[in-house]
Amino acid sequence: MTMASYKNYSALEAAELRVREAGEWLKLEDGLIETIVAPRRIIEVAIPFRRDDGSRDQLTGWRVHHNTTRGPAKGGIRYDIDASQEEVEALAALMTYKCAIIEVPYGGSKGALKINPKDWTKPEIEKITRWFAQELIKRDLIHPAQNVPAPDVGTGADEMAWIADEYRRIYPTDINALACVTGKPTQKGGLVGRSEATGRGVQYIIRAFFQHEEDYIKAGFKGGLKDKKIAVQGLGNVGYHAAKFLQEEDECRIICVMEHNGAILNPDGLDIEALKKYQLEHGTFEGCEQGKFEKNSSEFLSIDCDILIPAAKENVIDESNAAAIQAKLIVEAANGPITFAADEILNERNIMIIPDIMANAGGVAVSYFEWIRNLRHIRFGRLEKRRNAYQFDTLISAIETMTGKEMPEKFKEQFIEGANEIDLIRSGLDDMMSEAYQKVRKSLIENNIPNLRTAAYKVALDRIAISYDSIGL
């Protein structure tokens, strides 16, 4: 059964179809495929709530526990008025495959509350979060060894801190209580670098792509990553960090940034840091002197650029605009930004796509580091820091003795100080994203698979299938 035979599927249906197609490449039996795609548990909760003004609301929330064969279920909790059970099921499944691709010992999960956080006060959000957490905790859907949430759309470090506090209150003797959730504030057991992680991972996966001349020539590029023209859809946490790092560290030109209320364009490149500051102050790009402002931002998905990074909403590239896309490479920083039908069109046009289950895995990678740190109860690098400093000091002395010259102070400081925690986290993330790309690329080449998405699903499915086989299922 070919991809071309399918049209207009939901995100959940599309994920299942892609798993089944990967299963054909692996020659997996149908029964195992059915086992893998089916969620283990789906919980819907109703939360009665009295607002600060005395009015009453009934809130609906979900937590989907998709798979735990490779380890505890991992996945964010979002607050979104458009959330639905089907969406949560799809995102939970994607987490299972995403964790398998980057080889972290997790299965997939996802949660959502059907609310618009902008419509509620912060004290109300805290009460809602704590109540939702209680409902999930008593069902073991928040637990360091079973199900570990993280921030998602509409949630952040504060919500994760409240959830951790509720867990600790209910289980005061659990020494690993802080590991029940990731994405916490740093003073509450969180990890430096977590907020940048997904965007940083996007940067690293693009770097990995451009390390292979064969790949970027096939996509129509000449030369490496430097000075490539990039368009970014969404300047939220993910889009901002991806654009910022690609501009500042890789010398790319961010020529267009699109938001729901308008786009800003400058062929010479935008200053992302200054643009983000302007957006936070004004809520829009309109009036910003960096570039030309256009109200209808969706039109600029087809802008003439080298790399397109959809980093916000699902389904922004569909049948209506896929044929107009001019980018040579699309990097799915958001979950499901390309519909199933649009994916077919883009593949037929030989536009390279780095799929979401690989491209935006940086968040769960660093979440894994935070979880490990919470379980170890000691920060990364703490035990070896002084030993390494002594070794580097000895090395500097030896170099100075052999050369008869004193090493410049700035180099001495870099040697002796060594790597701090954020350096170690970034190094680990870079390694995980690069290795994931190498494994997917190898699978694509060795099996003559037509695109990176199918190859990524094959890699994920192979690892999940092995985990089932290892326990006799």
Phi–psi pair at 457, nearest 5 degrees:
-65, -35
For the annotated catalytic residues, the residue numbers are 110
Q: Which of 226, 276, 277 is nearest to 253 (CA)?
A: 226
* φ, ψ for residue 226, nearest 5 deg: -55, 135
Which amino acid makes up residue 328? K
184/179 Cα distance (integer angstroms): 10
Q: Which residues contact 317 (CB under 8 A, 6 or more apart)?
A: 301, 310, 325, 330, 337, 338, 339, 342, 346
Query: What is the spatial distance between Cα 266 and Cα 262, in angstroms, rounded to a whole number?
Result: 14
Residue 203 and residue 241: Cα distance in Å, rounded?
9
**Token code pair at residue 452:** 């990176």
Give the amino acid at 25: W
* CA–CA gap between residue 368 and residue 362 (Å, rounded): 10
Cα–Cα distances (Å) from 92 to 112, 210, 382, in that order, read: 11, 30, 34
Neighbours of 411 (CB within 10 A): 11
Q: How far apart are CA 94 and CA 356, in angstroms?
A: 9
Q: What are phi and psi of 294, to 5 degrees?
A: -130, 135
CA dist 408 and 399 (Å) reads 12
Rounded to 5, what percent of the chain is helix, strand, coil? 50, 15, 35
Residues 6+ apart with CB under 8 A from 327: 231, 305, 306, 307, 308, 351
DSSP 407: P
